[in-house]
Chains A and B, each alone.
Chain A
Amino acid sequence: MADSTTSRASFTLDSTLETVNRLELEAEQFAQRAGFSEDDIPNIAMAVREAAVNAVLHGNNYSTEKHVSASFETTSSDLVIKITDQGPGLDPDTIPDPLAPENILRGSGRGIFLIRAFMDEVHFRQTHPGTELTLIKHRTPAPAGN
């Protein structure tokens, strides 16, 4: 699947639902251009949507004073997406397990879980203030002979 095609784009956006939709669409387009499968593309787009929701809603709390930074980079081996908010910071170790019996009927709290389910690597970095979320999906090498 992978070839040597590389590309990069970055954005600074308002803390709005339009930003969430915009980043979801960008993710879908980057994933398509990177040659991901029809199954992977919507999952990557959903992971980015969830990360964007975290940044806009839980990080920046829809503040007009705060922005969301996002970058998309396709390298020869990976699709790397970084989404950064200006919120109080998110400690991933404090996020309740949504699969635990006591949490299974909660009406929220599944976003980070879905991001981890759909991406190969997820990294959190505190940016004081704010959180940078790095999402990585590996591009599978094309089978020999193709």
Chain B
Amino acid sequence: MSMKVSTRQVDGVTILDLSGRITLGEGSVVLRDAIRDQLAKGNKSVLLNLGDVSYIDSSGIGELVSSFTTVKNSGGELKLLNLTKKVHDLLQITKLYTVFDVKDDEASAVASFTK
């Protein structure tokens, strides 16, 4: 049920592979800590792979927004990769789809970061 994060580095971009649920409580906290850790390490190009995120609630959406602004305010970029239909629809409903830079191909997503 809870969310898991694994981290990869590809061509200077930090890819966080998220799986599970991003919801109030554990999932949101895990994401917040993961973003904080990466920024502390100086990794400011962050790609969130949401392909295995089965569920997200309003708290999870809020955490995605907070992650986006936190990275941006640190001088970095945060982009989203592989949205499920459910997450895609939620970002559309909340008018956040155009706020985020959403990608569906990892290689082109990595290449799109400012180097």
Contact = CB atoms under 8 A, between A and B. Distances in A.
A110 B69 contact: no
Contacts of B58: 50, 53, 108, 110-111, 113-114
Interface size, A (range): 20 to 34
A53 B93 contact: no
Interface residues of B, number: 21
Contacts of B9: none
Contacts, number: 48
Contact of A114 (B55, B66, B68, B93): B93
Interface string A82-111: 000000000000000011000011111111
B24 A53 contact: yes
Contacts of B62: 106-110
Contacts of A53: 24, 57-59
Interface string A17-40: 100100000000000000000000
Contacts of A130: none
Contact of B59 (A105, A108, A117): A108
Contacts of A104: 95-96, 99
Interface of A: 17, 20, 42, 46, 49-50, 53, 57, 98-99, 104-111, 113-114, 117
